[in-house]
């Protein structure tokens, strides 16, 4: 069978599996709709959590960013992994012991305020909708390339699939569907990596292949890649930073604490029967996440080398990168390049008219490098590659079998759809459970609340699809922005709600609003949404990234600091929480069965 047919078969079978599971596990009560009835086994919940956690950003974009930025993209590995550990150790067990299965419900009860609960819903909606834009965009990219349909059609199909298994199955259906999706995505991610590692280094373990010698020149993989990219004018792969060190640090922290504040991950710890199971499922989830995250650096590095070696074969042989015969003739470019050109994510323009492809960093100002490029007759970089295609195109670049290429398509769709479903459920529960039941109609019946939840989910899917079809102008890096919003608005009040008896409702509300406002203001100002004198957008301090060179995606750290400071200051000049709330906070932090300290 040809590639298109195989792709249809594998993706179609995976979708049939998801829908079959959703029908089997359809929710019949609010408990099953919101938290799967609280009866999921810790190992199964760990696998579902991993699928919920590893979105299109992890599957599609992370290795692509590592391929492009090298060492500089380690912020994603450190931030997302460290954030999950922070969530598992400091937040999840205590929130599970508190017994409230949504973040706004915890905030509303802990801070004894419907206003605090409403503000938390607002913060959750902003973060989740920003995040879901990236998932729907990923669905569109994967569909448009592998199923031969337009980006818009791909998003419509994705919306329909999510609607069928999320609206009818709720958390129960989503949980068991995510287990299947994890199996699909991890198999789709690791199998090509094993093939490529064997081809390049002879080592079947990609994690070890990254540090092994190349078969072609018997030199270390990373040393070879460093030489190749620097010969072409790019920064050294193993030492290239992602902006300033201050920005790198803030970026990492923003991703880390944003992870711990994401509501669609937190709610997964309420699907297990006991507090002990919440800790256990957190550990299992980390194991399942590590299977992908430890492979991602190898996938990124090997994809970068294979791409360059395809366009400039001298990279594989150690020859002169500037020799005319070293670059690829246009009439010999592989079929995969033509297929990706149709998506607009790979572009080629023969600037010097020599009928060959020159792929290099034409922004390198080193005189010696410029002299070499000029002597070779190069007139500028001729190929632009979107990093998001690196994982999806990697098996094609490495000339792997068609079934492996189709498997990667199914994995990319599984990653995007699993996280989209989790986010949409978080949005649905925030509207139906926290707003409708918690604020506007406390006496609503369970059947009507379940209906409201399904309607909210359907509306959320329509909004998510619209945003995927028409992403806002400031939506570049939407996933990182979503983490920054969660970091600046939700994480501080959750932390203070668990570890500070004296934090009151006034402080929490002021902190959430100030953190959210400061972060959104900076993002909009930097992206050009806020205008001064109708033409120029605001730079807060000056320079490319405004505030001390901090990018909008990293500004969540600053927003979180503002949140903490404002909340603390307001709590100091207002009345402390009631005694029963302070005792509640103490009881949350006390291990079950612990005795009272006697002082002896």
pLDDT digits (tens, 9 = 90+) for 362-388: 888 888 888 888 888 888 888 888 887
Q: What is the mean pLDDT of residues 108-136?
A: 85
Tell me: pLDDT of 507 over 80. Answer: yes
95-104 tens-digit pLDDT: 777 776 678 8
| Mean pLDDT, residues 70-89 | 81
Secondary structure element (H or E) that encloses residue 185, with its range: helix 170-201
- Residue 253 and residue 557 in contact, taking contact as beta carbons nearer than 8 Å: yes
Determine the Cα–Cα distance for residues 95 and 118; give it in Å rounded to an integer: 19
Helix (H, G, I), strand (E, B) or coil at 220: strand
Mean pLDDT of the chain, nearest integer: 79
Residue 347's H or E segment, with its range, is: strand 346-348
Q: What is the pTM of this model?
A: 0.79
| pLDDT the model gives residue 537 | 44
Q: What pLDDT does 362 receive?
A: 87
pLDDT for res 531: 44
Contact 128, 427 (CB under 8 A): yes
Q: Which residue's entry shows tokens 């609607």? A: 163
Radius of gyration over every alpha carbon of the chain, rounded to an integer in angstroms: 25
How many C-beta atoms lie closer than 10 Å to residue 188's C-beta? 27
Residue for token digits 């994982």?
Answer: 391
Helix, strand, or coil (residue 140):
helix
Distance, in Å, from the CA atom of 433 to the CA atom of 322, rounded to the nearest integer, reads: 63
Q: Which domains are seen in the chain, by residue range?
A: 3-302+398-470+479-589 (1.10.4160), 316-392 (no CATH)
Q: What is the pLDDT of residues 23-74, one digit of tens each?
A: 776 655 555 555 544 567 788 888 888 877 777 667 777 888 888 888 777 7
In degrees and rounded to multiples of 5, residue 544 shows phi and psi of -60, -45
pLDDT, residue 194, reads 92
Tokens standing for 409?
């398509």
Q: Bigger pLDDT: 455 or 527?
A: 455
Q: Residue 467: which of 154, 141, 131, 161 has the closest Cα? A: 131
At 540 the pLDDT is 46
| 267 closest CA partner among 59, 427, 389, 465 | 427
């Amino acid at each position: 069978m040809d590639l298109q047919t195989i792709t249809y078969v594998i993706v179609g079978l995976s979708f049939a599996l998801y829908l079959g599971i959703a029908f089997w596990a359809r929710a019949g009560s609010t408990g099953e709709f919101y938290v799967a009835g609280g009866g999921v086994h810790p190992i199964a919940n760990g696998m579902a959590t991993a699928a919920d956690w590893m979105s299109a950003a992890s599957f599609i974009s992370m290795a692509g960013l590592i391929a492009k930025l090298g060492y500089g993209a380690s912020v994603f590995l450190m931030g997302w992994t460290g954030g999950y550990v922070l969530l598992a150790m400091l937040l999840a067990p205590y929130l599970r012991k508190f017994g409230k299965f949504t973040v706004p419900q915890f905030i509303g009860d802990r801070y004894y305020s419907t206003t605090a609960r409403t503000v938390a819903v607002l913060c959750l909606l902003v973060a989740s909708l920003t995040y879901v834009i990236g998932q729907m965009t990923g669905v569109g990219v994967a569909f448009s390339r592998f199923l031969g349909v337009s980006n818009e059609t791909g998003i419509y199909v994705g919306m329909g699939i999510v609607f069928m298994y999320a609206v009818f199955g709720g958390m129960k259906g989503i949980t068991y569907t995510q287990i299947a999706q994890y199996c699909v995505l991890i198999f789709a991610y690791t199998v090509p990596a094993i093939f490529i590692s064997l081809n390049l280094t002879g080592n079947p373990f990609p994690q070890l292949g990254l540090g092994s010698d190349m078969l072609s020149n018997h030199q270390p993989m990373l040393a070879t890649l460093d030489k190749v990219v620097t010969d072409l004018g790019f920064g050294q792969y193993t030492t290239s930073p992602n902006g300033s060190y201050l920005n790198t640090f803030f970026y990492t922290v923003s991703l880390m604490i944003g992870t711990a504040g994401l509501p669609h991950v937190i709610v997964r710890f309420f699907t297990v029967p006991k507090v002990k199971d919440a800790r256990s499922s957190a550990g299992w989830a980390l194991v399942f996440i590590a299977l992908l995250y430890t492979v991602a650096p190898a996938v990124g590095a090997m994809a970068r080398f294979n791409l360059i070696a395809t366009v400039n074969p001298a990279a594989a042989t150690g020859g002169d990168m500037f020799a005319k015969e070293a670059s690829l003739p246009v009439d010999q470019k592989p079929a995969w390049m033509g297929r990706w050109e149709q998506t607009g994510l790979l572009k080629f323009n023969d600037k010097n008219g020599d009928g060959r492809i020159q792929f290099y960093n034409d922004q390198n100002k080193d005189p010696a490098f410029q002299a070499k490029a000029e002597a070779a007759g190069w007139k500028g970089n001729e190929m632009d590659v979107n990093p998001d295609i690196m994982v999806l195109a990697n098996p094609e670049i490495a000339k792997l079998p068609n079934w492996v290429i189709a498997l990667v398509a199914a994995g990319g769709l599984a990653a995007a759809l699993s996280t989209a479903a989790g986010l949409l459920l978080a949005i649905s529960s925030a509207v139906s459970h926290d707003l409708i039941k918690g604020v506007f109609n406390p006496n609503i019946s369970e059947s009507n609340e379940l209906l409201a939840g399904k309607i909210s989910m359907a509306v959320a899917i329509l909004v998510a699809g619209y945003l995927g079809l028409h992403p806002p102008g400031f939506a570049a890096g939407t996933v990182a922005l979503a983490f920054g919003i969660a970091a600046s608005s939700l994480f501080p009040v959750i932390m203070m709600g668990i570890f500070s008896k004296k934090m009151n409702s006034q402080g929490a509300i002021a902190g959430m609003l100030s953190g959210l406002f400061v972060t959104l203001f900076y993002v909009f100002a930097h992206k050009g949404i806020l205008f001064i004198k109708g033409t120029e957008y605001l730079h807060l301090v000056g320079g490319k990234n405004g505030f001390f060179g901090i990018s909008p995606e990293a500004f969540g750290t600053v927003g979180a600091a503002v949140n903490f400071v404002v909340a603390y200051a307001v709590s100091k000049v207002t009345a402390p929480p009631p005694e029963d709330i302070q005792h509640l906070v103490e009881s949350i932090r006390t291990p079950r069965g612990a005795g009272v300290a006697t002082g002896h």
